[in-house]
A and B are shown apart, each in its own frame.
Chain A
Amino acid sequence: MNGMQTMLEAIRNAFTLAGGTPGLSALFLAGLIALWYAKTGQKKDTELLFRYALVVLLVIISPPYLYLVGRFFTGYAVDSMYLWLLPLTPVVLKVFSDAAGAARAVRHRIVFVLSAAALLLLAGTSSFQPESWRMVENHYYIPQETLTVLQRLRQIREERELEQMVIWGPDQLMEYARIYDDGLILVYGRDIWEGSPDSEMHQIYEAQEVNAAFAMEQMPMFLESMGDMAEQMGCELLILDKTPFYEQQEPWPRLLGNYVLQETVENEIIYTRR
């Protein structure tokens, strides 16, 4: 009974993912029914589109398929890109074009266009969501505060006449460092804190880099040893975030191993190797 419930839940999840919102799922199903109705008109294209959409949908929500993918191809299930095989757009386009063809009078057409637009906008989820839409602050696509710090880092590199300069800093800074200045070399990549190491790039990190990433994340705990770690990794600059110091109401140190405080820019503290 429990297994049955789990499988039903898996089918429901697969269908939700495939259709997206209940509204779009309903639109897709309605489209399939419309295609099935149209296929009786002996249109070969419509018939094949209907058959393909139906077969893919039935395969995707079938218990054996879900069992196999869940058990043996977990990576593929996580991607959920197999769901994109569903011809949602062609089905919706076909149905709308056929339905529009039926509207003859001008006022019918106006009503049709307005209701089609309203249906699509209400059935789906708008891309214009506040959390996913942030205005670009500059043409580097880097948050302005981070850009100011990066501009200073580039200045330091140029003052020292270095072609390349190894730096170690907070994630927010490291994320954009190479987009702004290709002369900045980082001690580890963004994939380490995004949780996707050893992807297509096949970079396998050594324990030293993994420890460094962890130390930067838990900076106050590892503060004393960070200077030594940076030196071992050959960093020219060590950059720390001010926030933990503010939170603990403690001043930031002037010396960290072999690194001395150079300056503070925005929310970052820059230490340089002696």
Chain B
Amino acid sequence: MAFLLPIYLITASYLCGRVLQGLFKKCKSSEHNNVPALPNAGETCLIGMFALLLLWEALVLPAIKLLLSFQLLTQIYSVLLLLICAKGAINCSREQGKYRFAPEQNWISTVSVLAFLVFVAQAVSYIFFYPDTNNDATVETVITTLSSDLIYENHPYMGSTFVYGITFRGKLVTLPLFYAYLQLVSASRAVTIVYRVAPFMSLLLNYTVYGIWIEQFTEHSKDRARMKALCFLVLGLLNLSGSFSHDSVFYYLIHKGFRGETIIFGAILPYVLYLCFRIFVHREYRKLLWLVMALAVTVPIADVQRGLLPCGICVVTMLLIVLIWEIGKKVKRK
């Protein structure tokens, strides 16, 4: 069952993303013969995943305050998710034929096969090798939450009740609880979810975000499919050959894929950077909403210092650069 989870998560996040994109329609999309192109599926999934995690956070925090059981929390979440997915499915069926679906031509080539093999090499490593679990209590948190049916009341390493309790800042990080939810719905082992499914999802998110970047880089390219495949090959090789330090994002992607920091630095930060480009350079101000969502989703994923702060620094730096640039332009004109 655990191996069906990625399909479940991708479908749920895609439908959820479609609902959100439906709410904030009229996002700029390339038009061809007055038929708008289908919104980028990767970006839709990404936004949907953010929404899933934010919804989870919005339910967990009051549940902690009200001392609700974890079972009840998952039931409420499942019902809400089902409703959102149903709405997403209705949206999809209604919008059938509204969008132009233009799949890439000639996408099977030697380079794309190579890129796929490199991706498989990364994904397979999660099944056959031990992850780096230093200073990590994710699996223990999942197991403790499910066995006690309480949220952050018991010490994950010891199993007994916390003597001094967990800080509010610590409680904000709800990603391990989301893994516990996934274990509950898939009825599989915690280690399978945390050490296999979660890193695979992080890798998918990483590829999704850089897929959006690659889409932009190869916009005017003639042999687009091959160029994209080449970029994905380079991305995979960079992931595999970037383990120069135990603190590098590439090392985290391969050895600590289940950690929140991996999602932050492997997916959210590059997406924030991409959004900054779209907002500040292409003036797509509607994307501000996705930017706010991307910044907000760092809170349930990792500690504020390792999530929100770096992403905030990234946005502020971009903003300052654009401001200085614009001021420089005006001064030049005068």
Binding site for B on A (CB under 8 A): 17, 20-21, 24, 44-45, 48-49, 51-52, 55-56, 59, 75-76, 79-85, 87-90, 92-94, 96-98, 100-101, 109, 113, 116-117, 120-121, 123-129, 132-136, 139-141, 164, 178-179, 182-191, 194, 196, 199-204, 206
Contact = CB atoms under 8 A, between A and B. Distances in A.
B249 interface: yes
A78 to B, nearest CB: 9
A84 B249 contact: yes
B279 to A, nearest CB: 11
Ranked nearest first, the 5 interchain pairs of A and B with the lowest CB-CB distance are A189-B157, A124-B241, A20-B244, A182-B147, A200-B170
B191 A141 contact: yes
B33 interface: no
Contact of B227 (A100, A139, A199, A201): A100
A202 B167 contact: yes
B237 A202 contact: no
Contacts of A82: 310, 313
A20 B190 contact: no
Contact of A93 (B191, B214, B322): B214
B210 A127 contact: no
Contact of B277 (A49, A84, A98, A189): A49
- Give the residue among A17, A92, A132 with the most B Cβ atoms within 10 A: A132
Interface stretch (B9-17, B54-62, B132-140, B286-294): B132-140
B165 interface: yes
A141 B139 CA distance: 11
Interface residues of B toward A: which range? Answer: 35 or more
B43 interface: no
A84 B265 contact: yes
A124 B243 contact: yes
Contacts of B144: 178, 182
B158 interface: yes
Given A89-B238, A184-B159, A188-B158, A100 B165 contact: no
A141 B194 CA distance: 11
Nearest to A206: B163
B250 interface: yes
B321 A52 contact: yes
Nearest to A97: B217
B321 A81 contact: no
B254 to A, nearest CB: 5
Nearest to B278: A45
B250 A127 contact: yes
B197 to A, nearest CB: 13
A177 B127 CA distance: 21
Contacts of B321: 48, 51-52, 55
Contact of A56 (B131, B167, B217, B317): B317
11 contacts: A44-B281, A45-B216, A90-B273, A94-B217, A100-B230, A116-B233, A120-B234, A120-B237, A178-B140, A178-B144, A203-B155
B261 A81 contact: yes
A113 B232 CA distance: 12
B169 interface: yes
Contacts of A132: 132, 243, 255
Contacts of A45: 216, 277, 281
B213 A93 contact: yes
A38 to B, nearest CB: 11
B322 A124 contact: no
A184 B140 CA distance: 12
Given A17-B245, A182-B159, A202-B164, 8 more contacts: A45-B277, A81-B261, A97-B218, A126-B241, A127-B255, A134-B130, A139-B192, A200-B166
A190 B239 CA distance: 30
Contacts of A199: 135
Interface in B98-141: 111, 114, 125, 127-132, 134-135, 137, 139-140
Contacts of A133: 125, 129
B210 A93 contact: yes
A200 B169 contact: yes
Contact of B135 (A83, A87, A178, A191): A191
A204 B158 contact: no
Q: Of B114, B135, B158, B237, which is in contact with the most chain A CB atoms at under 10 Å from its CB?
A: B158
B189 interface: yes
A135 B163 CA distance: 37
B323 to A, nearest CB: 12
Contact of A113 (B139, B143, B233, B317): B233
A194 B238 CA distance: 30
Contacts of B129: 133-136
Contacts of B135: 191, 194, 196, 199
A52 B130 contact: no
Contact of A92 (B128, B238, B247): B238
Contact of A96 (B157, B230, B317, B318): B230
Nearest to A117: B237
Nearest to A82: B310
A185 B158 CA distance: 6
B143 A87 contact: no
